[in-house]
Amino acid sequence: VSCGWRNGPAMFIGVLRRAIEDDDVTIDFISISRFVPDSGRVKIKHDLECDIGGRDVVLVEDIVDTGLTLAYLLGQLSARNPRRLSTCTMLDRPQRRIVPQEIDYRGFELGTEYVLGYGLHVRDLYRNLPYGVAADRDTLVSRPGADVGRVSPGAGRAVGAPGSGEGPGCGGS
């Protein structure tokens, strides 16, 4: 079972699924939300549809930042007695970690830059970019839909896109 939370990791899960030859894989989603802003406390908004008891489960994240989301989800899923529970993230930002997390499969490591594209968003915008882009989050919050290539110096830098020659990225396909 491959479980993503909300729709952030959906594009990444699609890439992973294409790379896995095994037919016997279920993709399911769990959605959580903070119910007290900035308290770190969350609740499940949409739960998995499948029973993960006795199954091998990979929890897939788009990005692990503080690690609070992953810690919460691991607690929820491990209580359902999967045979094995492992973790996978497209991007990892260990500098901001609050809850230490062992991640079994990591894509790319980030610094402090905010990243958009490949499922990552600001107010649900930019998810569809076919690559990861480092951008100024505050500017985009004040100008929703602004061109990430123009909003601020350094914004729009393609992260790991072909030819960028640097850093982590989400790939481009």
Residue 118 in contact with ligand IMP, rule: CB under 6 A = no
Whether the Cβ atoms of residue 127 and residue 75 lie closer than 8 Å to each other: no
Shortest distance, position 150 Cβ to ligand IMP, whole Å: 19
The tokens describing 157, both together, are 């830098």
3-state secondary structure of 55: coil
Binding residue for ligand IMP, selected from 52, 57, 69, 85, defined by CB under 6 A:
69
Largest CA distance in the chain: 50
Could you tell me which stretch among 15-23, 49-57, 65-73, 146-154 binds ligand IMP (CB under 6 A)? 65-73
Shortest distance, position 171 Cβ to ligand IMP, whole Å: 16
Rounded to an integer, what distance in angstroms lies between the CA atom of residue 61 and that of residue 6? 9
As to burial, measured by CB atoms within 10 angstroms (0-12 exposed, 13-18 middle, 19+ buried), residue 120 is buried
Could you tell me which stretch among 19-27, 28-36, 61-69, 147-155 binds ligand IMP (CB under 6 A)? 61-69
Residue 65 in contact with ligand IMP, rule: CB under 6 A = yes
Site size with ligand IMP, rule: CB under 6 A: 14
Rounded to an integer, what distance in angstroms lies between the CA atom of residue 127 and that of residue 59? 20
Binding residue for ligand IMP, selected from 4, 57, 67, 73, defined by CB under 6 A:
67
- Which positions from 130 through 169 interact with ligand IMP, judged by CB under 6 A? none
Helix (H) / strand (E) element for 90: namely strand 84-92
The tokens describing 47, both together, are 């739960």
Binding residue for ligand IMP, selected from 10, 44, 68, 103, defined by CB under 6 A:
68
- The structure tokens 């359902």 sit at 80
Question: Quick one: 57 or 70, whose CB is closer to ligand IMP?
Answer: 70
> Annotated catalytic, 38?
no
Residue 92 in contact with ligand IMP, rule: CB under 6 A = no
Whether the Cβ atoms of residue 49 and residue 58 lie closer than 8 Å to each other: no
Q: Which residues lie near ligand IMP (CB under 6 A)? A: 8, 61-70, 114-115, 120
Catalytic residue ranges: 65
